[in-house]
Structure 1
Amino acid sequence: MGRVGAGWEVVGVSDSALASTPGFAEWSFPAEAGAVRTARTLVRDTLLAWGLADVSDVTVLLVSELVTNSLRHATGPIGVRMYSRAGRVLQVEVSDPLPDPPRERVAEADDEGGRGLQLVALASRRWGTRRGDNGKTVWFELSLPG
């Protein structure tokens, strides 16, 4: 599911068995400011096409937070992957080449940042991180209605 946006091509990066499965989408974005906006648009459009409008807003918010974190700390490409598991759970993953896992922190009332992982933890069913050969992945799950 590639698409052109913000002057650069968004390329599907999957070579996994999931790539041909209905309810699977994956993109890779350069570490540029437009990545957040493009990720939000692609996630929203994909969820609407899948008939998952009920979880669209929260998914877009959490993806936006995680892609923003990747932009702040990593310099390489940012990957976003979404797939539905058994029609009951939406799994969303955001990957970047930085191997260090993100750190949750308590933001003070006047801090402008530091709440992204708190939002992920509060709004998702479960979440976590894992290291890979080329960086790390932060993932979260949302329960699907029905």
Structure 2
Amino acid sequence: MSTKSRKYLVKHIFSLIGTLNEEEKQKILNELLKKRIPISAFKAKLSGLEIIIKYLKEAEKKSFKEISKILNRKLSTIYNTYNKSKIKFKKNLDLSDTSIKIPYNIFANRKYSILESIVFYLKDKQKLSLIKISLMLNKSYSTIKTVHRRYKIKK
């Protein structure tokens, strides 16, 4: 979609939102906030993709087909990754820390890795330091710094 088309679309969305009452706006906001993964889920000893798929399948009760659409991945990839995650991590994901929730639509862009997308979101959208991100994700500072640098290079 071109920049001009996006601006046109955003303008019309804002005018539509302006016609809604507060209760309707709150309902939309609540729906958007539901489509997020709690930061604590990413502390599990699984890959980022395994965590996201496990969360969407077990916590959100999504079908494999829905997950493949959300993440822009093949159905077979979703199915195989989920089965591997069940073998590697038999417990439920830790969903206790909801102070930060990561929108799962950021993972649809295949240009960036899962970890790059998470680090970018936390650094540039949530304005967290790389040190804090490394603690939240249970990863080394150097890993987070490298991932953030790679994201900026790809951008």
- TM-score when normalising by structure 2: 0.28
Task: Name the larger-Rg structure.
Answer: 2
> Relative contact order, CA 8 A, sep 6+: which one is greater?
2
Structure 1 or 2: more helix by fraction = 2
Structure with greater proportional strand content: 1
